[in-house]
Structure 1
Amino acid sequence: MRADRLVSLVLLLRQHGRLSAAALARELEVSTRTVLRDIEALSAAGVPVYAERGRHGGFALLPGFQTELTGLNHDEALALLVAGSRRGAQAFGLGSALTSAMRKVVDALPESYRATAAGAAQRLLIDPETDLLSRRLVAEEVPDSVVAEVRRAVFAGHKLRIHYAATDQTPKWRTVDPIGLVTVRGHGYLLATRSGADRTYRLSRILAAEELAEPAQRPDRVDLDQAWQERSTRFRTGGDQVTVLVRVHPARRAELVGTALAVRAEETDPDGWLRLEVTFQDSRHAEWALWQLATNAEALAPQWLRTCMRDRAAAVAACYGASP
């Protein structure tokens, strides 16, 4: 780990010219004391790093210093392969590896391209954390130790023990045969089989994981896209799903459809509003989705949902009807 950090420190100085100890600490996610120790280690190893004192001082390399320490390790190469989505790298515990790999890629560019590429990159922002309505995408937090263990078992083709907290259940240990990892909108999933049956596990609900030495029972090749589609279809057509008849304002149709599992029928009313038959995961999902649309949507059926919406609205009105 320290060797990788020392390489990253050298590459940061090559790319930025001069950085303070505090800036280096932020980039490397360590303390300033650790940075100072690393600087001493580099100097002792013959790397020509020097300090510039003063308000705008910091550490820098002697001009013209070159390094060949740009080889990618396994995790860095893997991070680049999933770099089409920065959130994908984060979900699989490869965020720091992606950062390190990109430093090495930039350092490997010809010097004439490096400044141009860096300037162009500042003009592009891909997949920001918030949209124009300031709605924040909440990424799941998965401990690096857990996702690293899961990742190793997936790649090695070994069985995996996971301490899993299913919804509304006491966490239990299970032994599974891992097939692959999928990330969807910042949420990570483990596709696996258990006793021959397909299983899908949310990474954020895996409390602990242990790679076993026993080989996993799984095919040598897998089409993850197809496997995910099949499991998604089973999820949408099973469980405690409810079908709701809804009237919705056309401007809010996309929002309603985006939260539903499926749209079974749709027609336009004479007043221009849309009448949709949509399926939700369960009753709580249906009530939540319609509540977000306020008066821009109305549940026509079933009656229990209309009653729930009325009672909730009455409770909110009573709350705000009294003086604070």
Structure 2
Amino acid sequence: MRADRLVSLVLLLRQRGRLTADTLARELEVSTRTVLRDIEALSAAGVPVYAERGRHGGFALLPGFRTELTGLNHDEALAVLTAGSGRGEQVFGLGSALASAMRKVVDALPESHRATASDAAQRILVEPETDLLSRRLVTDDVPGATVVQVRRAVLAGHRLRIHYAATGRPPQWRTVDPIGLVTVRDRGYLLATRSGADRTYRLSRILAAEELPEPAQRAPRVDLERVWRDRCAQFLSDGHIAVLVRVNPARREELLSSAVAVRAEEPDDDGWLRLEVTFQDSRHAEWALWQLAMDAEALAPQSLRTSLRDRAAATATRYAREVAPHA
């Protein structure tokens, strides 16, 4: 256990630079005293870790010190990292690189561990193509050549020229400054700026792409999770409708599959769930709740309740009249 912790400590310092003992203790889930003992052990073993005192002090490794994982090329290493985010390797065109990287990882294992690891891998299935209801997951189809150009521009920090087909508009060429790539529910998105304004592009709507030689206008570092969160908040505030709804727990997933986002969720007194969800507009909300019939009830806004009531009344009137069968 201590050997694993020492390796993790070195990797933390390699990847994140100078860190305080308190930060290292939180990351490694040990006490500060244990971290100090580990630092001393690393120094005694010849690892060039040193301390800097003062307000912005901490522990760091001498510049240029590396721990090598040999045998993986750039795309394979990227694929292994991407695999931690679900099916991103498929969305970003890294599937073959991931397969190659995993073969190298297995081959690098000691003989005594190889068979055990292979057997364990056969007993774990992550994100299969169908769920228990035999519904196939829909993954965006992005041409391989296109996603390679997009990915290269994002990672190299170069500008990108894309032929983009926005909804309801003819495709247009545009030049953007790429920030990062995000995959959500097997849909890939390019986060970028265009003429300084924030833009989010769906990868499946990029018909062609070309990495340009000039550098992108962007910050040297990015908190992609924060950027995505801000983009989502902006998206939800632009013309969408918030709906308070009660739903039978058995139909919860069906409701969520049609909603744009979920803002709040809590159990109701009768065992149902009370959720605040967002839909694209009033027509979208009415359609989604109508599919759930008696297993859902819109509580707000009142305009949605009224439209659902009128629709139900009109339907009841139609089916209340007698219809003579054809001879």
TM-score by length of 2: 0.67
For 2:147, give the aligned amino acid. Answer: V
Give me the whole-angstrom Cα distance separating, in 2, the residues matched to 1:313 and 1:215: 63
Give me the whole-angstrom Cα distance separating, in 1, the residues matched to 2:201 and 2:193: 10
For 1:290, give the aligned amino acid. Answer: L
How far has the Cα of 1:305 moved from its partner? 4.8
Please name the residue that 2:38 is paired with: none
Please name the residue that 1:295 is paired with: 294
Partner secondary structure for residue 125 of structure 1: coil
Q: Could you say what the CA RMSD is over the residues aligned between the two structures, in angstroms?
A: 3.2
CA offset digits 1:69-95 (Å, max 9, x no partner): x82221111111112145111111100
How far has the Cα of 1:119 moved from its partner? 1.4
Please name the residue that 2:47 is paired with: none
How far has the Cα of 1:104 moved from its partner? 1.4
Point out the more displaced range, 187-196 or 84-93.
84-93
Give me the whole-angstrom Cα distance separating, in 2, the residues matched to 1:129 and 1:218: 36
Partner secondary structure for residue 87 of structure 2: helix
When residues 308 and 243 of structure 1 are mapped into structure 2, their CA distance, relative to the original with a 3 A threshold, is: farther
Please name the residue that 2:251 is paired with: 252
How far has the Cα of 1:225 moved from its partner? 0.4
Partner secondary structure for residue 72 of structure 1: coil
Give me the whole-angstrom Cα distance separating, in 2, the residues matched to 1:206 and 1:108: 38
CA offset digits 1:188-222 (Å, max 9, x no partner): 10000011111110001100001111111000000
The answer as to whether partners of 2:262 and 2:275 remain within 8 angstroms in 1 is no
State the number of aligned residues.
250
How far has the Cα of 1:103 moved from its partner? 1.2
When residues 96 and 218 of structure 1 are mapped into structure 2, their CA distance, relative to the original with a 3 A threshold, is: same
Give me the whole-angstrom Cα distance separating, in 2, the residues matched to 1:119 and 1:223: 37
How far has the Cα of 1:297 moved from its partner? 1.9
Point out the more displaced range, 195-204 or 101-110.
101-110
Please name the residue that 2:281 is paired with: 282
Give me the whole-angstrom Cα distance separating, in 2, the residues matched to 1:315 and 1:109: 70
Please name the residue that 2:241 is paired with: 242
Answer yes or no: is 1:71 the counterpart of 2:71. Answer: yes
For 1:82, give the aligned amino acid. Answer: T
CA offset digits 1:113-161 (Å, max 9, x no partner): 2222111211111222222222221111111100000011111111101
1:93-104 matches, cutoff 5 A: 93-104=93-104
TM-score by length of 1: 0.67
Give me the whole-angstrom Cα distance separating, in 1, the residues matched to 2:319 and 2:249: 26
Partner secondary structure for residue 181 of structure 1: strand
Q: Which structure 1 residue ranges, 5 or more long, are not aligned?
A: 1-69
Give me the whole-angstrom Cα distance separating, in 2, the residues matched to 1:249 and 1:220: 48
Q: Which structure 2 residue ranges, 5 or more long, are not aligned?
A: 1-69
Give me the whole-angstrom Cα distance separating, in 2, the residues matched to 1:163 and 1:246: 40
